[in-house]
Chain A
């Protein structure tokens, strides 16, 4: 893929994301530096998916601001469950959806892109799957397919929501290799993950979030015992008597 790229990062300035009036992400500030590889971890209901959607521009902050450094192309890998896996579409056509940011609804598929899409399929271990219907794939194969679409999309910032859930060890190892390649190419990668061993092994930076940002920085410090305990303390249930938040917006 393209060798040199504009460094692209994301800056959060006191960002609060809410569902209705309930904050899912509360007064978070920080920076996903250009070229960084960050894991987002935290308990269920901690606002990880909401944060990723906001970074992708799909959820407008209740207050605060998400600023882009550089003119970045952002790609989002939604959770596998959000996909209609029974949809009658062939694998190659899914991979070519990654061309959308470049060709949109109307423009033709550029010369050579079909071959590139087939190469992307091969790169994720799905060579020969071009005409296979998506419905016939296993969960792991589907995730490989979506990674192939990310390869074609060629974005500067990649947001991955639980990329290794419901996939076996070999698949996650293969996909992890692609994530490492992206990092090596200078792309910014943000991944929501649950496997803390994996995070400690592979991700230099970690954002530990439990509605509030508990810690954000080098993984070893962010995942300290004290911080993990703090994250577990987050009350999952909200309080009916919660008062209006008076922290400065």
Chain B
């Protein structure tokens, strides 16, 4: 047991760093995921992650695998895609999801092309799928900083975000500045996705954000409870995922995402809210 669960972290510093980084990510990203699900924007985070790729690639071409440069490049590209898609669809009257899809396909193609031009297949795989080895001290500080900032901002943005999701017309009439809060929210999503790049890679960065969030609705009936459930699932998935990755020699990104996916399947089957199995147990109806 000790060998299986604890020894790897005692023995290897890089595993400890990866764990701390993923735990930091696990307390902030899933909460954003819950709001993305509630706003019917489940795919938006994915689009932002891919949209950030050309920026990451440019950073890589200029500075190699240096976390701050990659991060800054991704931040700029991600914000351009996020804000650009909204502005473009408003200006042309198109649907925002269609514009996002167009932008992210272009961005993904451009990103992969750029990385391939300047680097090896190993570099490409590192950027696409992530690597625990990539979580150096700079990356770790970044992930912890992003998580801290996200939690503080969310504490202030909670009320307007809930109001804006639930009843946009009321929010607007009450002067709740829904548009401004939406921008803040998108900004948080972008930085969290980027923070996930190091450990999970660009392709699966949003796994830890979305899967626990989607699973959480089977565990709670209110937004707050869903946020706690999502964070719990994410923390467990990070820990288990890193161990799986170490023992079975799978890249961390896919390992963590698969564990989170398993948690989602369990939630769908056995979760107390709208789970499938509880429905099979016929307990008769209540008296009134």
Binding site for B on A (CB under 8 A): 53, 56-58, 74-76, 78, 82-84, 87-90, 93-94, 97, 100-101, 105-106, 133-134, 149, 153, 159
Contact = CB atoms under 8 A, between A and B. Distances in A.
Contacts of A87: 38, 165-166, 223
A57 B170 CA distance: 11
Given A74-B173, A76-B173, A88 B217 contact: yes
Nearest to A82: B169
A75 B173 contact: yes
Given A84-B166, A105-B160, A89 B173 contact: no
Residue of B160, B170, B172 with most partner-chain A CB within 10 A: B170
Contacts of B223: 87-89
A6 to B, nearest CB: 19
Contacts of B162: 89, 93
Given A88-B220, A100-B159, A153-B174, 8 more contacts: A58-B173, A83-B166, A87-B165, A97-B167, A100-B163, A100-B171, A105-B156, A134-B166
A83 B176 contact: no
B221 interface: yes
Residue of A57, A58, A100 with most partner-chain B CB within 10 A: A100
B167 A78 contact: yes
Main secondary structure of the interface of A (DSSP, over half): mixed
Contacts of B159: 100, 105-106
Contacts of A90: 221-222
A102 B38 CA distance: 26
A19 to B, nearest CB: 12
Nearest to A84: B166
B174 A101 contact: yes
A153 B167 CA distance: 15
B157 interface: yes
Nearest to A94: B166
Residue of B38, B165, B167, B217 with most partner-chain A CB within 10 A: B167
Contacts, number: 72
A89 B156 contact: no
Given A89-B162, A89-B223, A58 B172 contact: yes
B168 interface: yes
Contacts of B221: 88, 90, 133
B288 interface: no
A238 B160 CA distance: 39
A55 B225 CA distance: 37
Interface residues of B, number: 26
Contact of B175 (A53, A94, A97, A101): A101
Contact of A58 (B165, B169, B225): B169
B170 A97 contact: yes
Interface string B242-253: 000000000000
Contact of B38 (A83, A88, A97): A88
Interface string B170-199: 111111100000000000000000000000
Nearest to A153: B174
Contacts of A134: 166
Interface in B135-179: 156-157, 159-160, 162-163, 165-176
Contacts of A106: 156, 159
Nearest to A56: B173
Contacts of A75: 173-174
Nearest to B157: A105
B226 interface: yes
Contacts of B160: 105
Contacts of A159: 173
Contact of A82 (B156, B168, B222, B226): B168
A76 B169 contact: yes
Given A87-B165, A97-B163, A100-B163, A57 B222 contact: no
A77 to B, nearest CB: 8
Lowest 5 A-B CB distances belong to which pairs? A78-B169, A76-B173, A56-B173, A87-B166, A100-B174
A37 to B, nearest CB: 20
A10 to B, nearest CB: 14
Contacts of A56: 172-173
A42 to B, nearest CB: 20
A149 B168 CA distance: 15
Interface in B185-230: 217, 220-223, 225-226
A82 B173 CA distance: 13
B151 to A, nearest CB: 16
24 contacts: A75-B174, A76-B169, A76-B170, A78-B170, A82-B168, A83-B166, A84-B38, A84-B167, A87-B166, A88-B38, A88-B222, A88-B223, A88-B226, A89-B222, A94-B166, A97-B166, A97-B167, A100-B159, A101-B175, A106-B156, A133-B222, A134-B166, A149-B170, A159-B173
